[in-house]
């Protein structure tokens, strides 16, 4: 007599089935969705520990019981596979769904005797990890209000067609988990549970799209969707309210980064009124920073390049060519040299202006060197491109002071210092006047 569940430990799994072909199996995906109480002291925002094989087996059994109760014809004779872990949505919704594919592949390749239905697999962890990398939650994941426990049902195409339609027609309107499953999830993961329900992958895709649209991230879904479902690119998305431009190709997102001067003169801000330049650039930079975090979180690395006029075009292939031809920004910060006077005049004064705005922290630093007669010798802008970019910029300013043997002054006005008429950043002098360069070198 075989057990109802085959438990896979860390060490040994024979993934080769010599008795039955794996190509006659199909699968569909479901998810146990756990709404978390973010106000509870038990809520940490971090993924809970992975389950051992024995505990995962208990949970798998209860999920199978729930599905047999909820679905009109149950799930038999389909097999069921799950990993004993909770995942954030960024773990599940990654290009081509690697987590779900790994679960399905395990079931397809699990040994089974000819004529018997697929087994049920509950995958437990050993030493805090699963044996398959794709099943391990992202180490940097931070849980939001919804945790997910995905599972795959595997069987013949005929069985899966019936189960899939049953899940689609049932779970959205009547997918509540049992009180037993509710208590088990709360106990084994140590999390505060508000609600527990089952959903299909299609249900969760619709929910995620609505969530993103309601949080000013419509463009993120427009980039994520073709990556999830392997739709050939390139795909171009331009955010309507800010003009941020993103192109997706081969699971890589591309975007131009514009300094304030370039943004205002030939970039997305070229048509913005002079009186609205500060607000416009803040909005553009805020979206830029938001997507720089969100895209990699969903498995889409972001490649920044220096913004050029050629990138600002509607034809997707031409914009992609311009992006790929532009200089890549691989450093922690971008240095924009605005003015550099020829000659060997030694500066006697070094003034840095920190450009900040509420909600954005530091936008840039501007560094100006002056001669003894007050003549501007150089003007540079430094833009942070990552979290530790500010530290690198501070070190660069200090190094300039040491190289010239003079101290530097940092002005912190608390706003973006720029000339509306010239549409460019500047520095504040001792009289709080905006100093800009005569021309760009």
Residues 391 and 429 both lie in one domain = yes
Query: Residue 264 has what pLDDT?
Result: 98
Last residue within a domain, chosen from 214, 234, 256: 214
Instruction: Please indicate, yes or no, whether residues 309 and 414 belong to a single structural domain of this protein.
Output: no
pTM of the predicted model as reported, rounded to 2 decimal places: 0.88
Helix (H) or strand (E) holding 429: none
What pLDDT does 387 receive? 87
User: Looking at 187, 214, 241, which one is the last position of a domain?
Assistant: 214
Is there a single domain that holds both residue 104 and residue 47? Answer: yes
Contact between 123 and 129 under an 8 Å Cβ cutoff? The reply is no
Q: Does one domain contain both 93 and 157?
A: yes
408 and 284 in a single domain? The answer is: no
- 8 A C-beta contact, residue 281 and residue 260: yes
10-residue stretch averages of pLDDT, the chain, 441 residues long: 29 31 76 94 88 95 96 93 95 96 84 68 93 90 87 92 96 96 96 96 95 93 95 93 96 97 97 96 96 95 97 94 96 96 88 91 96 94 95 96 93 95 93 82 40
**For the chain, what is the domain count?**
3
Looking at residue 342, its pLDDT comes to 80
**Residue 116, pLDDT score:** 66
| Nearest-angstrom CA–CA distance, 110 and 115 | 14
* Nearest CA-CA partner of 136 in 199, 92, 79, 190: 92
205 and 238 assigned to the same domain: no
For residue 360, the enclosing domain spans 333-435
CATH number at residue 369: 3.30.420
How confident is the model at residue 118, as a pLDDT?
Answer: 74
CB atoms within 10 A of CB 212: 17
pLDDT at 86: 96
Q: Answer yes or no: do 193 and 208 share one domain.
A: yes
Amino acid 439: pLDDT:
59
CA atoms within 13 A on the CB side of 391: 3
245 and 291 in one domain? yes
Write down the pLDDT at residue 112. Answer: 64
Calpha distance 312→258 (Å, rounded): 11
Does 200 lie in the same domain as 68? Answer: yes
For residue 45, the tally of other CB atoms under 10 A from its CB is: 11
> Which residue, of 214, 234, 257, is where some domain finishes?
214
pLDDT attached to residue 89:
94
Residues 53 and 196 both lie in one domain: yes
CA-based radius of gyration for the chain = 28
62 and 16 within one domain: yes
Structure tokens at 301: 């690395």
Domain assignment of residue 384, yes or no? yes
Q: Are residues 130 and 184 in the same domain?
A: yes
DSSP 135: G
Distances (CA, A) of 336 to 97, 308, 333, 356: 40, 14, 10, 17
């Amino acid at each position: 007599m075989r057990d109802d569940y085959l438990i896979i430990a860390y060490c040994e799994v024979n993934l080769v089935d010599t008795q039955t072909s794996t190509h006659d199996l199909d699968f569909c995906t479901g998810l146990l969705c756990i709404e978390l109480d973010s106000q509870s002291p038990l809520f940490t925002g971090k993924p809970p520990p992975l389950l051992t094989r024995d505990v995962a087996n208990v949970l798998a059994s209860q999920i199978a019981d729930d599905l047999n109760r909820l679905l009109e014809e149950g799930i038999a004779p389909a097999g069921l596979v799950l990993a004993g872990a909770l995942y954030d949505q960024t773990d599940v919704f990654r290009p081509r769904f690697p987590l779900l594919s790994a679960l399905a592949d395990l079931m397809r390749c699990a040994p089974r005797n000819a004529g018997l239905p697929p087994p049920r697999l509950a995958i437990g962890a050993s030493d805090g990890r699963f044996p398959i990398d794709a099943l391990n939650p992202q180490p940097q994941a931070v849980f939001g209000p919804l945790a997910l426990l995905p599972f795959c049902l595997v069987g013949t195409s005929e069985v899966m067609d019936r189960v899939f339609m049953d899940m689609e027609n049932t779970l959205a309107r009547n997918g509540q988990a049992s009180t037993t499953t509710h208590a088990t999830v709360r106990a084994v993961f140590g999390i505060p549970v508000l609600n527990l329900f089952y959903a299909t992958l299609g249900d969760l895709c619709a929910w995620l799209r609505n969530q993103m649209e309601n949080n000013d991230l419509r463009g993120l879904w427009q980039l994520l969707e073709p990556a999830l479902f392997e739709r050939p690119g390139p795909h171009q998305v331009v955010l309507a309210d800010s003009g941020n431009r993103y192109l997706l190709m081969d699971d890589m997102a591309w975007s131009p980064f514009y300094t304030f001067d370039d943004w205002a003169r030939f970039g997305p801000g070229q048509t913005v009124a002079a009186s609205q330049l500060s607000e416009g650039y803040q909005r553009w930079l805020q979206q830029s920073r938001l997507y720089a975090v969100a895209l990699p979180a969903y498995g889409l690395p972001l490649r920044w390049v220096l913004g050029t006029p050629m990138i600002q075009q509607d034809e997707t292939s031409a914009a992609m060519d311009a992006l790929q031809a532009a200089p890549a920004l691989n450093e922690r910060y971008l240095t924009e040299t605005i003015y550099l006077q020829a000659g060997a005049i030694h500066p006697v004064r070094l003034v840095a202006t920190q450009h900040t705005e509420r909600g954005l922290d530091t936008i840039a630093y501007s560094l100006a060197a002056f001669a003894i007669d007050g003549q501007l010798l150089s003007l540079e802008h430094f833009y942070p491109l990552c979290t530790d970019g500010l530290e690198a910029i501070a070190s660069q300013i200090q190094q300039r002071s040491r190289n010239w043997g003079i101290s530097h002054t940092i002005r912190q006005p608390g706003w973006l210092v720029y000339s509306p008429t010239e549409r460019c950043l500047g520095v504040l002098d001792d009289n709080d006047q905006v100093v800009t360069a005569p021309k760009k070198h």
